């Protein structure tokens, strides 16, 4: 098992976001809209993937409790970015999971922002830097889940 609890929760958080956005888009469409069925099919696929991830998390936790997998691996950090929010003050698993989910929500919106066709190049660069910083924070929260 190459996954960690943090990476599994991260994936689940992203699937939940994807499902939510597909549902929001689907609800906004009329039943006669040909894209509505395509959205419903995508929602079904994402929902199946979410359920598979939930099972994978359960298997991971059972294996960890049985001592079959390590919950925590030592992390080798090559550099420290001082512009990144530290996860040091996060002391509870639930809080780490919540911050990881919020980080993914921020990333989702930053990615949407950078894809805007009317965005000037200078703003694209600024947004890309925010994406880089947010990805580092996201990794810190995944690591915190794994502690």
Q: How far apart are CA 88 and CA 135, in angstroms?
A: 16
Give pLDDT, residue 97.
85
pLDDT tens-digit readout, 77-126: 555 655 556 556 656 778 888 889 999 999 999 999 999 999 999 999 99
84 and 46, same structural domain? no
Give pLDDT, residue 42.
96
Question: Among the three residues 18, 36, 71, which one is the final residue of a domain in this structure?
Answer: 71
83 and 47, same structural domain? no
Q: How far apart are CA 108 and CA 43, in angstroms?
A: 17
86 and 58, same structural domain? no
Question: Among the three residues 71, 101, 123, which one is the final residue of a domain in this structure?
Answer: 71
66 and 82, same structural domain? no
- Domain residues for the domain of 98 are 77-147
Give pLDDT, residue 1.
47
- 28 against 146, higher pLDDT: 28
| pLDDT band, residue 43 (cuts 50/70/90) | very high
Q: Over the chain, what HEC string results?
A: CCCCHHHHHHHHHHHHHHHHHHHHHHHCCCCCCHHHHHHHHHHHHHHHHHHHHHHHHHHHHHHHHCCCCCCCCCCCCCCCCCCCCCCCCCCCHHHHHHHHHHHHHHHHHHHHHHCCCCCCHHHHHHHHHHHHHHHHHHHHHHHHHHC
pLDDT averaged over the chain? 86
Q: Give the total number of structural domains in the chain.
A: 2
121 and 55, same structural domain? no
Averaged pLDDT for residues 22-39: 90
């Amino acid at each position: 098992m190459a996954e960690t609890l943090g990476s599994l929760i991260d994936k689940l958080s992203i699937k939940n976001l994807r499902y939510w956005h597909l549902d929001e888009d689907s609800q906004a469409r009329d039943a006669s809209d040909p894209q509505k069925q395509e959205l419903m099919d995508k929602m079904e696929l994402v929902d199946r993937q979410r359920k598979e991830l939930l099972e994978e998390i359960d298997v991971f936790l059972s294996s960890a409790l049985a001592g079959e997998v390590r919950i925590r691996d030592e992390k080798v950090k090559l550099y420290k970015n001082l512009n990144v929010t530290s996860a040091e003050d996060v002391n509870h698993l639930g809080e780490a999971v919540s911050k990881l989910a919020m980080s993914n929500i921020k990333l989702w919106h930053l990615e949407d922002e950078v894809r805007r066709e009317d965005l000037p190049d200078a703003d694209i660069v600024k947004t890309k830097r925010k994406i880089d910083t947010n990805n580092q924070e996201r990794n810190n929260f995944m690591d915190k889940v794994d502690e």
